[in-house]
């Protein structure tokens, strides 16, 4: 669908001359985000490794105090003005593009030897600049589980203030929602007739209608419209929301095109600390090192794949594995890279008898040309079909009533799949493949039990890591059971009277796939990623040998080093993972700033007064 939009956006004088395309303050702010007097500095109080969802939050919060010298290093570009990033319907152009790290899992027998494509954003904002913008927090119980897993201080009442702090909810303030934060949250200002039919269908089957999936006073179960991180129909990433707001601060340097290769350490295994960070730049390929100032910190925010990769490249990780690739062990931490989680997804897709799919709305009737009306509506009003990434309706469901909470998430898409894999479909759409009318239900095991791992292929910092056993790898087969029931539920929903006027042939899995065994094979063949990678360097209790971080996100046994990103989550949450990552970074920034304030008080005061001041 987005492929249809792109040529139009690039060449239409009409659209280019509308206020949303004329550059304006956002463009100027992005260009100036390069740091003032500190550009030539050799040492910093905070070095942030990766300018993604979490990194941009930290850059803003830590540099709010002008006394802190902050450096943000990001391998990707500043893509905040890029049409593929800004216009939701054009996001399909981001997959396997210059803004994607483009990873792949190793093949396993559980998946009938197919490899799973894993995209990760490579730009300021990271995956918050390339994701599909759904705003979910999971349930309160998800954070109770974090505490049970040893993450003290991360229970629902501890994290809620940080969700509210980060949020600028367009529907106003409430017990669960904040206004005035940096992350704009709204409903997609467009609803396709097929999405309305989906909600009618779930109502016909007796499921609850859900107005707010993030209201923790009620169960997460039910069906409705998801909220998204947009402002007036345009993506709000952490680069546009948080980093752009720090524009012009003299104490913040943002370096794009800087590929971090290693964290430089000093001391032995018992008194290890970070001395600096090594990176190479796009401009000249030269290796550079930046130093930490006395009392400074390095904060790894490279995401659930590259954060463990960077730690291992620096000698922090499982001894045996590091030695097997020829890396000198500086700190033996067996949990680095272990526990990687994702939401596995499969889909059910139908042809549509009427040309009402969102893809039909985005192209001129009977042609493959983009529909100028849809684009003009986005550009002028910030509404219409160009504001949707298509999966903004759905719900949560318990496939087994004895489960404590929902194990299945449904995402309804008012478009036909081009392949049994949702991610392949997006790549095909992005490369301009023909679009047919249809609709699709994507089924996610939203509280999966499987856990995989990140390992190194070699000591080469530029080599892609190995990603293993991420899906269907746990012995109870609970994730398979969830997905199987999901397919059955989707078929039930799409067979209701609400879809009678639209429903054509079932194209995936196809009507021949009926028995449990056949459905299971279809799942093994077609599992794809729902892009929620977490937990590969998780927080946990001091006596948990697999916990990499303490509850303040400090790497165990290494001074002046924290991990603040999705890899720190003790367990994946039931919902998409960007808002929880932003929350995590907000809370981490608060901890760090408080710690620094305590340290400066203690330098200035005798011990007794310090105890009183910080009590
Ligand atoms: C296609 C897609 C769709 C998604 N949809 C949703 C959704 O709808 N809702 C939702 O809540 N979540 C969604 N997510 C997930 C969400 O975006 C992530 O959970 C979140 O962005 C994770 O934040 P992070 O800071 O851990 O990592 P990222 O945001 O991925 O940031 C990591 C950053 O580190 C940089 N980096 C990595 N290695 C290096 C290095 N060696 N040197 C320098 N820089 C480096 C990267 O370029 C990147 O900018 C989606 C993700 C993807 C990819």
Inform me whether the pLDDT recorded for 26 exceeds 60: no
- Residue spans of the domains in the chain: they are 2-597
> Each residue of 468-489: pLDDT tens digit?
999 999 999 999 999 999 999 9
How far from 218 is each of 162, 176, 575, CA to CA, in Å?
20, 11, 15
Name the band, by pLDDT with cuts 50, 70 and 90, for residue 29. very low
The finding on whether 76 has its CB within 6 A of some atom of ligand 1 is yes
* Residue 158 burial class via C-beta count within 10 angstroms: exposed 0-12, middle 13-18, buried 19 and up: middle
The tokens describing 528, both together, are 């794809």
Site to substitute for ligand 1 among 94, 243, 256, 302, most atoms within 8 A of C-beta: 302
> Each residue of 322-351: pLDDT tens digit?
999 999 999 999 999 999 999 999 999 999
Site to substitute for ligand 1 among 72, 121, 446, most atoms within 8 A of C-beta: 121
Inform me whether the pLDDT recorded for 615 exceeds 80: no
> Each residue of 233-268: pLDDT tens digit?
999 999 999 999 998 899 999 999 999 999 999 999
- The rounded Cα 459 to chain-centroid distance in angstroms is 27
Q: What is the DSSP string of 292-351?
A: EEEEEEEEE-SHHHHHHHHHHHTTEE-HHHHHHTTPPPSEE-TTTTEEEB--EEEEEEEE
Are 565 and 307 in contact, with CB atoms under 8 Å apart?
yes
- Rounded to the nearest angstrom, the distance between the alpha carbon of 120 and the centre of ligand 1 is 5
Q: Which residues contact 597 (CB under 8 A, 6 or more apart)?
A: none
Are 165 and 178 in contact, with CB atoms under 8 Å apart?
yes
The finding on whether 59 has its CB within 6 A of some atom of ligand 1 is no
Inform me whether the pLDDT recorded for 20 exceeds 70: no
Q: Which residues contact 431 (CB under 8 A, 6 or more apart)?
A: 3
The tokens describing 121, both together, are 């954003």
Q: What is the DSSP string of 380-444?
A: HHS-SGGG--S--EEEEE-SSTTSSS--EEEEEESS--SSSSHHHHHHHHHTT-----EEEEEEE
Nearest CA to ligand 1 atom 11: 578
Q: How many other C-beta atoms are found inside a 10 Å radius of the C-beta of residue 175? A: 9
Buried b (16+ CB within 10 A) or exposed e, 222-256: bbbbbbbbbbebbbbbbbbbbbbebbebebbbbbb
The finding on whether 138 has its CB within 6 A of some atom of ligand 1 is no
Specify the CATH number of the domain 2-597.
3.50.50.60
Inform me whether the pLDDT recorded for 88 exceeds 80: yes
Are 106 and 129 in contact, with CB atoms under 8 Å apart?
no
- Rounded to the nearest angstrom, the distance between the alpha carbon of 310 and the centre of ligand 1 is 15
Euclidean distance between CA atoms 430 and 2, whole angstroms? 6
Which stretch of DSSP H or E encloses residue 215? none
> Each residue of 35-83: pLDDT tens digit?
667 777 889 999 999 999 999 999 999 999 999 999 999 999 999 999 9
The finding on whether 435 has its CB within 6 A of some atom of ligand 1 is no
Q: What is the mean pLDDT of the chain?
A: 92
Are 20 and 203 in contact, with CB atoms under 8 Å apart?
no
Site to substitute for ligand 1 among 134, 577, 587, most atoms within 8 A of C-beta: 577
Give me the pLDDT at residue 606, please: 61
Work out the angle at residue 401's Cα, subtended by the Cα atoms of residues 395 and 407, and round it to the nearest 5 degrees: 45
Residue among 248, 300, 161, 169 at smallest CA distance from 590: 161
């Amino acid at each position: 669908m987005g492929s249809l939009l792109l040529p139009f956006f690039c060449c239409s004088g009409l659209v280019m001359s509308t206020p949303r395309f004329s550059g304006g303050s956002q463009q100027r702010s992005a260009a100036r985000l390069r740091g003032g007097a500190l550009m030539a500095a050799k040492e910093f109080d905070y070095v942030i490794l990766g300018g993604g969802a979490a990194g941009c939050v930290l850059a803003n919060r830590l540099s709010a105090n002008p006394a802190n010298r902050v450096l943000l290093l990001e391998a990707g570009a500043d893509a905040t003005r890029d049409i593929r990033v800004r216009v939701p319907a054009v996001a399909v152009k981001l997959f396997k593009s210059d803004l994607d790290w483009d990873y792949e899992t190793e093949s396993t027998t559980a998946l009938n030897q197919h490899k799973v494509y894993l995209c990760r954003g490579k730009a300021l904002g990271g995956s918050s600049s390339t994701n599909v913008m759904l705003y979910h927090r999971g349930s309160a119980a998800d954070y109770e589980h974090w505490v049970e897993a040893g993450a003290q201080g991360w229970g629902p009442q501890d994290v809620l203030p940080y969700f509210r702090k980060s949020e600028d909810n367009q529907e106003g303030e409430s017990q669960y929602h904040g206004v005035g934060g940096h992350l704009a949250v709204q409903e997609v200002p467009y609803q396709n007739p097929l999405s309305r039919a989906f909600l009618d269908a779930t109502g016909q089957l007796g499921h609850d209608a859900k107005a707010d999936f993030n209201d923790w006073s009620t169960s997460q179960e039910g069906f409705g419209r998801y909220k998204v991180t947009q402002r007036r129909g345009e993506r709000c990433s952490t680069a546009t929301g948080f980093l752009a707001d720090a524009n012009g601060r003299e104490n913040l340097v943002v370096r794009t095109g800087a590929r971090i290769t290693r964290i430089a350490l000093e001391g032995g295994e018992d008194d290890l600390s970070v001395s600096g960070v090594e990176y190479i730049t796009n401009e000249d390929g030269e290796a550079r090192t930046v130093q930490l100032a006395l009392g400074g910190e390095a904060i790894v925010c490279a995401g659930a794949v590259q954060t463990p990769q960077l730690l291992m490249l620096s000698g922090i990780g499982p001894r045996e594995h590091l030695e097997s690739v020829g890396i000198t062990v500086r700190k033996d931490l067996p949990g680095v890279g272990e526990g990687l989680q994702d939401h596995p997804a499969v889909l059910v897709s139908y042809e549509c008898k009427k040309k009402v799919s969102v893809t039909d709305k985005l192209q001129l009737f009977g042609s493959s040309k983009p529909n100028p009306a849809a684009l003009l509506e986005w550009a002028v009003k910030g509404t219409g079909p160009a504001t949707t990434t298509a999966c903004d309706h759905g719900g949560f469901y318990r496939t087994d009533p004895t489960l404590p909470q929902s194990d299945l998430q449904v995402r309804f898409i008012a478009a036909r799949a081009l392949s049994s894999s949702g991610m392949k479909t997006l790549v095909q759409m992005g490369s301009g493949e023909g679009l047919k009318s249809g609709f699709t239900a994507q089924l996610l095991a939203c509280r999966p039990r499987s856990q995989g791992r990140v390992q190194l292929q070699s000591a080469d910092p530029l080599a892609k890591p190995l990603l293993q056993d991420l899906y269907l790898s746990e012995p109870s087969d609970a994730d398979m059971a969830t997905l199987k029931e999901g397919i059955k539920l989707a078929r039930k929903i799409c067979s209701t009277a609400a879809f009678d006027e639209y429903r054509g042939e079932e194209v995936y899995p196809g009507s021949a796939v009926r028995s449990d065994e056949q459905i299971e094979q279809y799942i093994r063949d077609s599992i794809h990623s729902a892009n929620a990678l977490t937990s590969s360097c998780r927080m946990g209790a001091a006596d948990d040998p697999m916990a990499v971080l303490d509850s303040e996100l400090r790497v165990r046994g290494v001074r002046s080093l924290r991990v603040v990103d999705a890899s720190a989550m003790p367990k994946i949450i039931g919902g998409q993972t960007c808002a929880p990552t932003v929350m995590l970074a907000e809370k981490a920034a608060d901890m760090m700033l408080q710690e620094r304030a305590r340290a400066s008080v203690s330098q200035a005061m005798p011990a007794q007064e310090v105890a009183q001041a910080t009590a």
